[in-house]
Structure 1
Amino acid sequence: MFDIGASELLVIVIVAILVIGPKDMPRALRTAGRWIGKMRRMSNHFRAGMDEMVRQAEIEEMEEKWSQRNKEIMARYPEGSTPEGGAPDNLLPPQMEALHDPEAPVDADAAAEAAIARAAPAKAPEHTNEPPLPLDPPPAPPAKDS
């Protein structure tokens, strides 16, 4: 901050000892530390206030842009109208299929089992001979009595 080197600091310490005296030096250093702490807190408080003001200004600017964009969209597509060419009847791409028939009654357990079966990874052919992973850890060896 002030770019004080070791030699300048040594001169300041010697002058302070001569002017203040070794007896009052600890009290003077505590007082200086308190003042420096207060200045840092005030500086941080000021900086935080400025950051908050900038953030609020940016939020207001973004809200203004969004409001303007919303007005443009609403002017282009008034309530009840459809975009040019109309909306598609089926929003699913042709390669995708519905997960269930909307008219069929939904059985939660069956639907969950079907979803798990679809999500289960298929084993690659080279891994089919591997033994299954154990569900429980192997039992600990018995403790030896000494």
Structure 2
Amino acid sequence: MLDFNMSEMMVVAIVALLVIGPKDLPKAMRFVGCWVGRARGVARQFRSGFDSMVREAELAEMEKKWAEENARIMREHPSEPDQPPVTSDPVALPAPDESGDQPPVTVERPAIHDDPAPPADPVTADPKAQS
């Protein structure tokens, strides 16, 4: 950025001390520091705005690529509505009604045992203990 070495900084400090004077120099330094802080804030805000625009542009580009890839895949592998749905169950589906709708399929509910098996008695369960 700005390349100041120590000798140049000393020259600027001596000139500021002579021109402004020792009494008003702290006020002048505070004023300059405030403006430098504001300039940094504006630069930070500009940079964050620029970064967000770049991110949005990259996101739009990626969405476009994803849409093109999705369209290509759909062209290569079109869905065929005439084929029955693929199921992992080898049982055939029931025939449709006259209206063309599939009849409801009933599924047997699995048996759920509320009472767990009582724990085995360690004395009777051990064959060595019975002999």
Bin of the TM-score, shorter chain as denominator length: 0.5 to 0.7
| Distance in 1, Cα, partners of 2:61 & 2:79 | 27
Question: If the length of structure 2 is used for normalisation, what is the TM-score?
Answer: 0.62
Q: Which runs of 4+ in 1 moved over 4 A?
A: 87-90, 103-107
Deviation, structure 1 residue 79: 2.1
Deviation, structure 1 residue 106: 6.2
Q: Which amino acid aligns with 2:25?
A: M
Kindly tell me the number of residue pairs found equivalent between the two proteins.
93
Q: Which amino acid aligns with 2:48?
A: A
Pair 1:106–1:76, CA change in 2 (3 A): farther
Q: Does 1:18 align with 2:18?
A: yes
Deviation, structure 1 residue 10: 0.8
Question: If the length of structure 1 is used for normalisation, what is the TM-score?
Answer: 0.56
Pair 1:13–1:104, CA change in 2 (3 A): same
* Residue matched to 1:37: 37
* Deviations 1:52-87 (CA, angstroms, capped at 9, x unpaired): 000000000000000001111111122237xxxxx8
What is the RMSD computed on CA atoms of the aligned residues?
2.6
How high is the sequence identity, in percent, across the aligned residues? 44
* Residue matched to 2:104: none
The SS at the match of 1:80 is coil
Q: Which runs of 5+ in 2 are unaligned?
A: 90-108, 117-131
Q: Which has the larger radius of gyration?
A: 2
The SS at the match of 1:9 is helix
Pair 1:54–1:26, CA change in 2 (3 A): same
The SS at the match of 1:17 is helix
Q: Which runs of 5+ in 1 are unaligned?
A: 82-86, 91-102, 111-146
Q: Does 1:63 align with 2:63?
A: yes
Deviation, structure 1 residue 105: 4.3
